[in-house]
Structure 1
Amino acid sequence: MIAAGAFGLDTSDTAPLIANARGMLSRGNLARAAESLVAAMGEADVSRLMVRSDDPFHILRAIDAASRTGADLFIAHTNLPEAHIDAVVKKFGVQMVVSAGDKLTGETPADAASARIFMMTSGTTGAPKIASHSLSALMSRAKAAMHPGNRGAKWLLTYQPTGFAGVQVQLTAVVGRGVVVAPDERTPAGFLEAAKANGVTQISATPTFWRAFLMVVRPGDLTLRQITLGGEAADQSTLDRIRKAFPDARVTHIYASTEAGVVFSVHDGREGFPAEWLDTETQGVTMRVRDGFLHIRTPNAMGGYVSDTAQPRLDDGWLATADRVEIRGDRAFIVGRDDSTINVAGSKVYPLMVEQFLLKQPGVMEAHVYGVANPISGQLVAADVVIEPGLDPAETRSAILAACRENLAQYQVPRAFKVVDAIAVRESGKKG
């Protein structure tokens, strides 16, 4: 008999689990697919596999099969170059790649399996790093999220399915006997159509996603119970717009990362988090600020990177992040990552801080701040904004720039400023 996996699935269970282009798949469908994968792994003596698919069905059956067999599982982004995937397969001895058509690689692991889940970062600043997690740690946060409002929920999968946040949404749906809704058309209109068709009740997404989604959603389109913002710092303007659009939903913003797991959740509708959390254990996590950067100690943190890169875990057991923190009154704010700063003649500009200022200006729906090369100062600040339909672009641009000159430091003021129809978003749901 095949061992029960971490999901506790039953092949006879007809409860729906995944809604995608193929229709509705049940928990029993997934259980049978996982058992078939386990059997195939046994025949080929596979102890290390990779899933490379954006389909939750393949991702979840691979996780379930790995948990049943104690195999190692690499979760790979589908947008990565083949050369990168091939290098990971060879370096770590991945024996099987799971997707719409599973295939053996002919590789042999150099060491024994350790029942770990290997997850990739989004690769914002270069090639993705690979972080090692235990499935029990990933599942613990999914179980911790199981307040009554999340049981039996229908989750819209807005995040990159193979990213940390996307996997967490899928695990939360499995644990809470909910449904994952995964549309093929990953545009604001496509997400809205899928959400309406499947009666979505929960949406977890980046603030960037929410700003685009609010441009297409109309009153009465959805009845949401839970709204979660993650992957980026939540700004007050976006939180307020969400509250206005969905007054009956519980609104949460979280701090999480591939390295640290889910660290904390904020439910009070205010940007930032209580500064007192830096002095006491909160939600099972301890935090501190050292040299302006957030450090975290949590049982849900990764075991470490297995890729060739510097390790963020310090000798005293804390996890050092690249997120800079500022204390203002009773709140602590993430103001940006040190590796994304714009260097203007020696002065550091955090794009996030300028973006959040722009989002507070009348008529601004979205903003993207970035650096452009300059022969004198090294870099200059550039900004693209999307404004409300019907506003005069020239007048709005002038008003925004006037506000920037009055309220921002001179080196923070955008020198290249455009009003655009839309701002590109990466697979991770973030800009840039």
Structure 2
Amino acid sequence: MDAADRLKQQLADRKIQRLLLQSNDPAQIVAALVACADAHTDLVIAHDYLDRGLIDRVIEDVSVDAVACQEVGHIRAVPGAGGSSEPASGKVLLMTSGTTGVPKVAAHTLDKLLDRIRATSSVESNVGGRWLLTYQPTGFAGLQVILTACLTSGSVVIASDRTPSEFAEAVERHAVTHISGTATFWRSFLVARRGLLAGGSTSPGSLRQITLGGEAVDQTLLDRLAAAFPDTRITQIYASTEGGALFAVHDQKEGFPAAWLEQGVQGSRLRVVDDELQVLSPRKMLGYASGQASPISGDGWLGTGDLVRVDQDRVRFVGRRDALINIAGSKVFPNEIETFLLSLPGITEAKVRGVPSPITGQAVLAEIVVEKGTDAEPVRRATMQSCRSQLARHKVPSMIRVLPAIEVSPSGKKA
């Protein structure tokens, strides 16, 4: 009897309603998904980097009554657990990142999580692929990669270490065919790949599909990817823990067609309210199992928190609502300045954030990474000069710092 069968038997025998699994192992995650679906038990997939205190808080908030042990075929009961007030039905409960506190837990049905994957599983280029896992496997994006590999008779490739150089070496070593990652991942991957090529490695030529998601994507990055991989399909995917898999863009242009605001796309409807993108999708979460107020309105629309700008026939992402910088009453979008910085020579990564200012309330701080082998100070001075000559005064950074690397969160985004 394999792990999924053993787990299913225990769930049924002990009448477990809600199970928590804390594991980074894709095989364990899949086994738990199969067992819980068959036993009609809800599964909470927890990030492995959360400490015991946060896990205990989630167990209480979400009414978990059992926890999967390290060997997934076995479980332990949660002492004093009263069980969930709602009947178990095999739901999949996914966490937000939790990097700033207790994560929210979004409830999905397995069918809805598989909906977009099933729609593309028969595409010839997806069948039998080798998928590099760049995302945290316990998050929405990572789980989508794992499930896609399962439904397309593919395999998941896990780098020995989550560093750009190890990811690049894993692609060569295992002839990876599909990579899905954040814009931050792809910028660092391009740098690492150049290092391998300079060292005598040959480009594997196996890559069929590049997918970008989780962060706003600038045109400069899309152009660099197209130049580096001219025969590879490049897709931007828009999805979130709350919204599910929403839509994909294949035209290698920043943003998405404005016509979709009227026509809808891939089963979802889109609208812009107070500069925020809102979506009405059959694949969105059922709600937060952790009790927080839902961002879904009474008529089913989900506020994404992503601010956009409609520019003729294109809708472009300008930043997150919660990341806005207020400079003496003027709004500054960090993403807009980052996009500008990344278009300048010598810069491979950039992060912009607001810092306190006694005069304007906030000021703009820019952090950049320069190309290896480049003298950092001339690049920093030239960058400041470009900002002063080409950006509006309130958007000019008060300081530009050169860093060896930009910190990345477990979700693959800029921390």
Which TM-score band (shorter chain)? over 0.9
Which among 123, 140, 145 is matched to residue 120 of structure 2?
145
In structure 2, distance between residues paired with 1:88 and 1:322? 24
- After superposition, the Cα gap between the structure-2 partners of 1:99 and 1:141, relative to the gap in structure 1 and judged at 3 Å, is farther
In structure 1, distance between residues paired with 2:28 and 2:404? 36
- After superposition, the Cα gap between the structure-2 partners of 1:99 and 1:430, relative to the gap in structure 1 and judged at 3 Å, is farther
Deviations 1:278-318 (A, max 9, x none): 11121111101111111101100111112232211112221
In structure 2, distance between residues paired with 1:125 and 1:390? 35
In structure 1, distance between residues paired with 2:309 and 2:221? 20
1:255-266 alignment, distance < 5 Å: 255-266=238-249
Equivalent pair of 2:58/2:102 in contact (CA under 8 Å):
no
Which among 290, 296, 301 is matched to residue 279 of structure 2?
296
Amino acid at match of 1:109: G
Equivalent pair of 1:208/1:431 in contact (CA under 8 Å):
yes
Partner of 1:6: none
Partner of 1:224: 207
Equivalent pair of 1:125/1:339 in contact (CA under 8 Å):
no
TM-superposed CA distance for 1:374, in Å, is 1.7
Q: How many residues get paired?
A: 402
Partner of 1:133: 108
Partner of 2:11: 41
Query: CA RMSD of the aligned region, Å?
Result: 1.6
- After superposition, the Cα gap between the structure-2 partners of 1:285 and 1:42, relative to the gap in structure 1 and judged at 3 Å, is same
In structure 2, distance between residues paired with 1:100 and 1:184? 20
In structure 2, distance between residues paired with 1:145 and 1:83? 40
TM-superposed CA distance for 1:348, in Å, is 2.0
Partner of 2:52: 82
Equivalent pair of 2:222/2:252 in contact (CA under 8 Å):
yes
The yes-or-no answer on 1:358 pairing with 2:341 is yes
* TM-score (norm. length: structure 1): 0.89
Equivalent pair of 1:58/1:100 in contact (CA under 8 Å):
no
Partner of 1:340: 323
The yes-or-no answer on 1:279 pairing with 2:262 is yes
The yes-or-no answer on 1:214 pairing with 2:190 is yes
Deviations 1:75-128 (A, max 9, x none): 111122211211221333323222524541233413321321111112366532
In structure 1, distance between residues paired with 2:284 and 2:321? 21
Partner of 2:25: 55
In structure 2, distance between residues paired with 1:124 and 1:387? 27
Structure 1 residues 33-42 or 320-329, which shifts more? Answer: 33-42
Residue 262 of structure 1 aligns to a residue in which SS?
strand
Equivalent pair of 1:142/1:172 in contact (CA under 8 Å):
yes
Structure 1 residues 168-177 or 80-89, which shifts more? Answer: 80-89
The yes-or-no answer on 1:91 pairing with 2:61 is yes
TM-superposed CA distance for 1:269, in Å, is 0.8
In structure 2, distance between residues paired with 1:98 and 1:201? 33
Residue 384 of structure 1 aligns to a residue in which SS?
strand
Partner of 1:159: 135
Partner of 1:109: 83
Residue 191 of structure 2 aligns to a residue in which SS?
coil
Equivalent pair of 2:57/2:102 in contact (CA under 8 Å):
no
In structure 1, distance between residues paired with 2:338 and 2:99? 18
Residue 353 of structure 1 aligns to a residue in which SS?
helix
Partner of 2:310: 327
Q: Give the 4+ runs in structure 1 shifted more than 6 A.
A: none
Deviations 1:196-216 (A, max 9, x none): 222211000001001111111
Amino acid at match of 2:152: G
In structure 1, distance between residues paired with 2:97 and 2:260? 27
In structure 1, distance between residues paired with 2:65 and 2:292? 24
The yes-or-no answer on 1:68 pairing with 2:51 is no
Which among 134, 142, 145 is matched to residue 169 of structure 1?
145
Residue 213 of structure 1 aligns to a residue in which SS?
helix
Deviations 1:215-240 (A, max 9, x none): 11145333200000000011111111
Equivalent pair of 1:189/1:216 in contact (CA under 8 Å):
yes
- After superposition, the Cα gap between the structure-2 partners of 1:99 and 1:164, relative to the gap in structure 1 and judged at 3 Å, is farther
TM-superposed CA distance for 1:392, in Å, is 2.4
In structure 2, distance between residues paired with 1:205 and 1:236? 16
The yes-or-no answer on 1:188 pairing with 2:164 is yes
The yes-or-no answer on 1:123 pairing with 2:106 is no
* TM-score (norm. length: structure 2): 0.93
Residue 45 of structure 1 aligns to a residue in which SS?
coil
TM-superposed CA distance for 1:408, in Å, is 1.5
Amino acid at match of 2:92: I
Amino acid at match of 2:97: S
Which among 374, 379, 397 is matched to residue 391 of structure 1?
374
In structure 1, distance between residues paired with 2:25 and 2:41? 21
Which among 381, 387, 403 is matched to residue 420 of structure 1?
403
The percentage of aligned residue pairs carrying the same residue is 47
Equivalent pair of 1:236/1:270 in contact (CA under 8 Å):
yes
TM-superposed CA distance for 1:271, in Å, is 0.6
